[in-house]
């Protein structure tokens, strides 16, 4: 029973509702975003620096562009998240630059082109704070119900920026090769606190029982990746392949704090106990496991294109992102190391690890010229969860993120001015999560001594999510030669 209790309690303290386990939540550049991310064959704009550096050779009008998710609203609704009838809601509103990119011609080297890009690849913030008070019959040795007070607080913030350059070499009129190199800066802050307390309802000095856990960590990590690619560019057909290599670690530091305690729950643990520890400036590494993308574009008639991209993200084995090798402070101090291992497993008390499951996402985009001033874009893409551990293993502390897939749909338009070299793009992207059942660990409605005051858990929680983004882009450069790509 003790093992079951610790298993359930330890894992609930790392329950998250993040989207960090999705690889296609964001696309970069207005055109790629509005065409469902179907950009691996090369869309003829500055986003090509990221999606297929080889295809930079075929961009007709080198320029600089700034793409902005001008407004983004995200609403997450978790039904029965903390038990039957106890729901969690979160609304997020933010703005952010999505892509700043440009392409540079080299007049003395006509076959060579350079590109640069800065992207905000991940930006996520979420917060839940809930207090539950109710009377339940918990202790059999006391008459009547007890007062049950439980709280749950969690915050998670992620920022990740990529900055790099590309080189493209034109082998012939229709073939090119290229590569990009990106440096990546990732910053994560996380906090999770859970407390469950049983009090006598008569105000007496009788038994008071409590189980609680607090986990706080933050870290930054700097790493790099390469993206070699090839591109084929015909009048009515385009093709591209881009490999994103696994990342190589350069630098990272983090801080972590954790405490876990049980008071007066003798049927589970024979003594009151507290485990507590902290580590500062520990070495961190966060891994990108790489991907392989294939893209094709077909010209339909004289004015339209159909774009398709298939990107497979490689899976990765479990690794420790940080691993402070130190024995936690334990009170009472008489508790043996073997008992700590029995409760928390062989992994260090403050260690945190991740892994990733291989997933393939597909994006489809359609664009057509409406007239000499306006184009129309339509797009759709999948965004599958890559979390290798959708649920928990008490011997390993790890963030458990969202367990659902996301689907994105977009529509936008492009306006070209006859009196200016500027090209404006505006559009909307909608993200949707169909009603998805998942396993909730915490259940404030069914606390008992047997389940460690955290409830029976089980299935019965449901997630729904909606997001809307307004996407804007302005492109500066030479006037476009034609309405074609």
Question: pLDDT (tens digit, 9 = 90+) per residue, 127-165?
Answer: 889 999 999 888 777 777 889 999 988 888 889 999 999
Q: Is the pLDDT of residue 2 over 70?
A: no
- Identify the helix (H) or strand (E) that includes residue 117: strand 112-136
Q: Is the pLDDT of residue 40 over 60?
A: yes
Of residues 346, 349, 469, the one with CA closest to residue 412: 469
Query: Which of the four pLDDT bands, split at 50, 70 and 90, describes residue 65?
Result: low
Query: Which of the four pLDDT bands, split at 50, 70 and 90, describes residue 220?
Result: very high
Cβ-Cβ contacts under 8 Å for 207 (sequence gap 6 or more): 139, 142, 198, 200, 264
Q: Is the pLDDT of residue 316 over 90?
A: yes
Q: Is the pLDDT of residue 210 over 80?
A: yes
Q: For residues 38 and 408, give the distance between their C-alpha atoms in angstroms, rounded to a whole number.
A: 12
Identify whether 472 is part of a domain.
yes
With contact defined as beta carbons under 8 Å apart, do 136 and 115 qualify? no
Query: Which of the four pLDDT bands, split at 50, 70 and 90, describes residue 482?
Result: very low
How much is the pLDDT for 7? 38
Across all residues in the chain, what is the average pLDDT?
84
* Structural domain that includes position 274: 2-477
Least confident segment among 66-70, 302-306, 439-443: 66-70
How much is the pLDDT for 476? 66
Cβ-Cβ contacts under 8 Å for 128 (sequence gap 6 or more): 17, 88, 90, 152, 153, 154, 155
Identify whether 483 is part of a domain.
no
Cβ-Cβ contacts under 8 Å for 17 (sequence gap 6 or more): 76, 78, 88, 90, 126, 128, 156, 401, 402, 463
Identify whether 482 is part of a domain.
no
How much is the pLDDT for 5? 44
Give me the number of domains the chain comprises: 1
Query: Which of the four pLDDT bands, split at 50, 70 and 90, describes residue 269?
Result: low
How much is the pLDDT for 96? 61
Q: Is the pLDDT of residue 300 over 90?
A: yes
Q: For residues 82 and 128, give the distance between their C-alpha atoms in angstroms, rounded to a whole number.
A: 11
- Identify the helix (H) or strand (E) that includes residue 460: strand 459-477
How much is the pLDDT for 397? 66
Of residues 211, 221, 212, 219, the one with CA closest to residue 190: 219
Q: Is the pLDDT of residue 254 over 60?
A: yes
How much is the pLDDT for 388? 65
How much is the pLDDT for 268? 62
* pLDDT, tens only, 180-209: 999 999 999 999 888 999 987 766 656 788
Q: Is the pLDDT of residue 453 over 60?
A: yes
Identify whether 484 is part of a domain.
no
* pLDDT, tens only, 369-421: 998 889 999 999 999 988 766 554 555 666 756 778 899 999 999 987 776 66
How much is the pLDDT for 233? 96
Percent of the chain predicted with pLDDT > 90: 42
Mean pLDDT of 96-113: 84
Output the pTM of the full model. Answer: 0.87
Percent of the chain predicted with pLDDT > 70: 85
How much is the pLDDT for 389? 65
Query: Which of the four pLDDT bands, split at 50, 70 and 90, describes residue 4?
Result: very low
Identify whether 174 is part of a domain.
yes
Most confident of 271-275, 323-327, 341-345: 323-327
Q: Is the pLDDT of residue 6 over 50?
A: no
* pLDDT, tens only, 423-450: 888 999 999 888 888 877 688 998 888 8
Q: What is the CATH number of the domain that holds 419?
A: 2.40.160.60
The burial class, CB within 10 Å (0-12 / 13-18 / 19+), for 283 is middle
The more confident residue out of 11 and 155 is 155
Q: What is the 3-state secondary structure (H, E, C) of 393-434?
A: CCCCCCCECCCCCEEEEEEEEEEECCCCCCEEEEEEEEEEEE
Identify whether 396 is part of a domain.
yes
Mean pLDDT of 469-484: 63
End-to-end CA distance of the chain: 65
Q: For residues 139 and 207, give the distance between their C-alpha atoms in angstroms, rounded to a whole number.
A: 9
Q: At what angle do helices 337-344 and 2-12 cross, to 10 degrees?
A: 60
Q: For residues 265 and 465, give the distance between their C-alpha atoms in angstroms, rounded to a whole number.
A: 38
How much is the pLDDT for 71? 64
């Amino acid at each position: 029973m003790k093992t079951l209790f610790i298993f359930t309690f330890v894992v609930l303290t790392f329950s998250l509702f993040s989207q960090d386990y999705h690889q296609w939540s964001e696309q970069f550049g207005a055109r790629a975003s509005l065409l469902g991310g179907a950009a691996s064959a090369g869309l003829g704009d500055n986003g090509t620096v990221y999606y297929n550096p080889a295809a930079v050779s075929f961009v007709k009008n080198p320029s600089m562009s700034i793409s902005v998710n001008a407004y983004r609203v995200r609403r997450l609704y978790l039904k029965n998240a903390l038990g039957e009838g106890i729901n969690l809601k979160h609304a997020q509103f933010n703005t952010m630059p999505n892509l700043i990119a440009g392409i540079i011609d080299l007049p003395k080297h006509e076959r060579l082109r350079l590109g640069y890009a800065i992207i905000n690849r991940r930006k996520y913030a979420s917060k839940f704070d809930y207090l539950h008070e109710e009377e339940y019959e918990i202790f059999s040795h006391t008459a009547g119900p007890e007062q049950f007070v439980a709280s749950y607080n969690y915050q998670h913030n992620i920022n990740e920026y990529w900055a790099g350059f590309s080189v493209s070499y034109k082998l012939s009129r229709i073939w090119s090769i290229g590569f990009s190199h990106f440096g990546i800066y990732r910053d994560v802050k996380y906090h999770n606190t859970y407390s469950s307390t049983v009090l006598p309802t008569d105000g007496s000095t009788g038994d008071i029982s409590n189980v609680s856990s607090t986990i706080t960590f933050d870290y930054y990590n700097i790493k790099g990746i390469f993206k070699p690619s090839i591109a084929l560019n015909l009048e009515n057909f385009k093709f591209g392949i881009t490999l994103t290599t696994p990342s190589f670690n350069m630098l990272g530091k983090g801080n972590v704090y954790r405490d876990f305690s049980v008071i007066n729950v003798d049927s589970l643990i024979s003594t009151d106990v507290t485990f507590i520890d902290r580590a500062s400036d520990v070495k961190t590494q966060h891994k990108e496991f790489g991907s392989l993308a294939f893209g094709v574009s077909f010209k339909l008639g004289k004015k339209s294109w159909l774009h398709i991209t298939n990107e497979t993200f490689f899976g990765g084995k479990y690794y420790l992102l940080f691993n402070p090798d130190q024995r936690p402070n334990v009170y009472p101090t008489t508790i043996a190391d073997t008992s700590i291992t029995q409760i928390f497993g062989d992994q260090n008390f403050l260690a945190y690890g991740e892994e990733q499951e291989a997933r393939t996402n597909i994006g489809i985009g359609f664009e057509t010229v409406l007239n000499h001033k306006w184009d129309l874009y339509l797009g759709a893409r999948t965004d599958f969860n890559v979390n290798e551990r959708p649920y928990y293993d008490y011997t390993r502390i790890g963030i458990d993120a969202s367990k659902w897939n996301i689907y994105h749909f977009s529509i936008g338009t492009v306006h070209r001015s006859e009196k200016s070299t500027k090209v404006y793009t505006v559009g909307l992207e909608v993200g949707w999560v169909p009603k998805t059942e998942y396993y909730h660990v915490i259940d404030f409605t069914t606390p008992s001594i047997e389940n460690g005051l955290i409830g029976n858990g089980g299935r019965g929680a449901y997630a729904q999510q909606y997001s809307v983004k307004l996407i804007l882009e302005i492109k500066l450069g030479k006037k476009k030669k034609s309405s074609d790509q």
